[in-house]
Amino acid sequence: MATSSGKTSTPTPLASKRPLPKDPSSEVPSKKKSSAPPLSLSGHFVEGSIVRIAMENFLTYDICEVCPGPHLNMIIGANGTGKSSIVCAICLGLAGKPAFMGRADKVGFFVKRGCSKGMVEIELFRSSGNLVITREIDVAKNQSFWFINKKSTTQKVVEEQVAALNIQVGNLCQFLPQTSCKEKTEYLEKMVQRNERYKQDVERFYERKRHLDLIEMLEAKRPWVEYENVRQEYEEVKLARDRVKDEVRKLKDGQIPITRRIEEIEMQRHNLEAQIKAKATDIKETSQKCKQKQDVIEKKDKHIEELQQALTVKQNAELDRQRRISNTRKMIEDLQNELRTTENCVNLQPQIDDITNDLRRVQDEKESCESEIIDKLKERETLEKEKKSVNDQIVQFDNLMNQKEDKLRQRYRDTYDAVLWLRNNRDKFKQRVYEPIMLMINMKDNKNAKYIENHIPSNDLRAFVFESQEDMEVFLKEVRDNKKLRVNAVIAPRSSYADRAPSRSLNELKQYGFFSYLRELFDAPAPVMSYLCSQYHIHEVPVGTERTRERIERVIQETRLKQMYTAEEKYVVKTSVYSNKVISSNTSLKVAQFLTVTVDLEQRRHLEEHLKEINRKLHAVESGLIALREKNKHLEHKDNELRQRKKELLERKNKKRQLEQKISSKLGSLKLMEQDTCNLEEEERKANTKIKETNVQKAKLVTELTNLIKICTSLHIQKVDLILQNTTVISEKNKLESDYMAASSQLRVKEQHFIELDENRQRLLQKCKELMRRARQVCNLGAEQTVPQEYQTQVPNIPNGHNSSPPMAFQDLPNTLDEIDALLTEERSRASCFTGLNPTVVEEYTKREEEIEQLTEELKIKKVELDKYRESISQVKERWLNPLKELVEKINEKFSNFFSSMQCAGEVDLHIENEEDYDKYGIRIRVKFRSSTQLHELTPHHQSGGERSVSTMLYLMALQELNRCPFRVVDEINQGMDPINERRVFEMVVNTACKENTSQYFFITPKLLQNLPYSEKMTVLFVYNGPHMLEPNRWNLKAFQRRRRRITFTQPSQ
Considering 458-462, 592-596, 855-859, 1043-1047, the range whose residues carry the highest mean pLDDT is 458-462
120: nearest Cα among 158, 157, 156: 158
Using 50, 70 and 90 to split pLDDT, how confident is the model at 27? very low
Q: State the Cα–Cα distance between residues 29 and 130, nearest whole angstrom.
A: 15
Greater confidence, 471 or 647? 471
Greater confidence, 270 or 1050? 270
Using 50, 70 and 90 to split pLDDT, how confident is the model at 1053? very low
- Cα separation of the two ends of the chain: 28
Lowest model confidence (mean pLDDT) among 140-154, 757-771, 1025-1039: 1025-1039
Is residue 436 classed as helix, strand or coil in its secondary structure? coil
pLDDT in tens, 90-139: 888 888 887 766 666 788 888 888 888 999 999 998 888 889 999 999 88
308: nearest Cα among 684, 694, 695, 699: 684
Q: State the pLDDT at residue 529.
A: 92
Using 50, 70 and 90 to split pLDDT, how confident is the model at 1032? low
φ, ψ at 631 (rounded to 5°): -65, -40
How far is C-alpha 106 from the geometric centre of its chain's CA atoms?
Answer: 40
Beta bridge partners of 587: 570
Lowest model confidence (mean pLDDT) among 213-222, 263-272, 294-303, 636-645: 213-222
Greater confidence, 395 or 413? 413
Q: Residue 45 pLDDT > 50, yes or no?
A: yes
Give the percent of the chain with pLDDT over 90.
9
Using 50, 70 and 90 to split pLDDT, how confident is the model at 18? very low
730: nearest Cα among 205, 84, 178, 271: 271
pLDDT in tens, 663-677: 788 788 777 777 766
Residue 465, Cβ density class (10 Å: 0-12 exposed, 13-18 middle, ≥19 buried): buried
377: nearest Cα among 42, 618, 548: 618
Lowest model confidence (mean pLDDT) among 30-34, 80-84, 783-787, 1026-1030: 30-34
Q: State the pLDDT at residue 25.
A: 32
Lowest model confidence (mean pLDDT) among 284-288, 524-528, 560-564: 284-288
Is residue 55 classed as helix, strand or coil in its secondary structure? strand
Q: State the pLDDT at residue 291.
A: 84
In this prediction, residues 10-21 reach a mean pLDDT of 34
Q: State the Cα–Cα distance between residues 195 and 178, nearest whole angstrom.
A: 32
Q: State the pLDDT at residue 475.
A: 93
Q: Residue 1046 pLDDT > 90, yes or no?
A: no
In this prediction, residues 264-293 reach a mean pLDDT of 84
Check: CB of residue 221 under 8 Å from CB of residue 795: no
What are the respective helix, strand and coil percentages of the chain, to the nearest 5? 60, 10, 25
Using 50, 70 and 90 to split pLDDT, how confident is the model at 1029? confident
Q: State the Cα–Cα distance between residues 139 and 152, nearest whole angstrom.
A: 19
Q: What is the 3-state secondary structure (H, E, C) of 1001-1026?
A: EEEEECCCCCCCCCCCCCEEEEEEEC
Greater confidence, 862 or 530? 530
Considering 1-15, 615-629, 768-782, 975-989, the range whose residues carry the highest mean pLDDT is 615-629
Using 50, 70 and 90 to split pLDDT, how confident is the model at 399? low
Which whole-number Å values give the CA distances from 719 to 55, 712, 907, 1018, in the listed order? 141, 11, 151, 157
Q: Residue 37 pLDDT > 50, yes or no?
A: no
In this prediction, residues 381-402 reach a mean pLDDT of 76
Check: CB of residue 89 under 8 Å from CB of residue 165: no
In this prediction, residues 453-474 reach a mean pLDDT of 92
Q: State the Cα–Cα distance between residues 59 and 118, nearest whole angstrom.
A: 9
Quick one: CA dihedral 37, 41, 43, 48, positive or negative? negative
Greater confidence, 312 or 678? 312
Residue 838, Cβ density class (10 Å: 0-12 exposed, 13-18 middle, ≥19 buried): exposed
In this prediction, residues 455-481 reach a mean pLDDT of 92
Is residue 564 classed as helix, strand or coil in its secondary structure? strand
Q: What is the 3-state secondary structure (H, E, C) of 179-219?
A: HHHCCCCHHHHHHHHHHHHHHHHHHHHHHHHHHHHHHHHHH
Q: State the pLDDT at residue 446.
A: 83
pTM: 0.34
DSSP-H helix ranges across 524-596: 526-536, 546-550, 552-559
Across the chain, mean pLDDT equals 77
Q: State the pLDDT at residue 171.
A: 63
Check: CB of residue 440 under 8 Å from CB of residue 456: no
Q: Residue 378 pLDDT > 60, yes or no?
A: yes
Greater confidence, 418 or 686? 418
Check: CB of residue 1038 under 8 Å from CB of residue 107: no
pLDDT in tens, 932-991: 777 777 777 777 766 777 777 777 777 766 666 777 777 666 665 777 777 777 777 777
Q: State the pLDDT at residue 417.
A: 92
Considering 133-142, 643-652, 767-776, the range whose residues carry the highest mean pLDDT is 133-142
Single-letter code of the amino acid located at 681: E
908: nearest Cα among 952, 877, 867, 871: 952
Q: State the Cα–Cα distance between residues 862 and 845, nearest whole angstrom.
A: 24
In this prediction, residues 799-809 reach a mean pLDDT of 43
In this prediction, residues 828-854 reach a mean pLDDT of 68
Is residue 935 classed as helix, strand or coil in its secondary structure? coil
Single-letter code of the amino acid located at 524: A
Q: State the Cα–Cα distance between residues 677 and 596, nearest whole angstrom.
A: 106
Beta bridge partners of 575: 582
Largest CA distance in the chain: 191
Q: State the Cα–Cα distance between residues 511 and 352, nearest whole angstrom.
A: 93
Q: State the pLDDT at residue 491.
A: 93
Q: State the pLDDT at residue 188.
A: 46
Q: Kind and range of the H or E element at 1046? A: helix 1037-1050
Q: State the pLDDT at residue 465.
A: 95
β 569-575/1019-1025 pair status = unpaired
Q: State the Cα–Cα distance between residues 144 and 111, nearest whole angstrom.
A: 11
Greater confidence, 978 or 372? 372
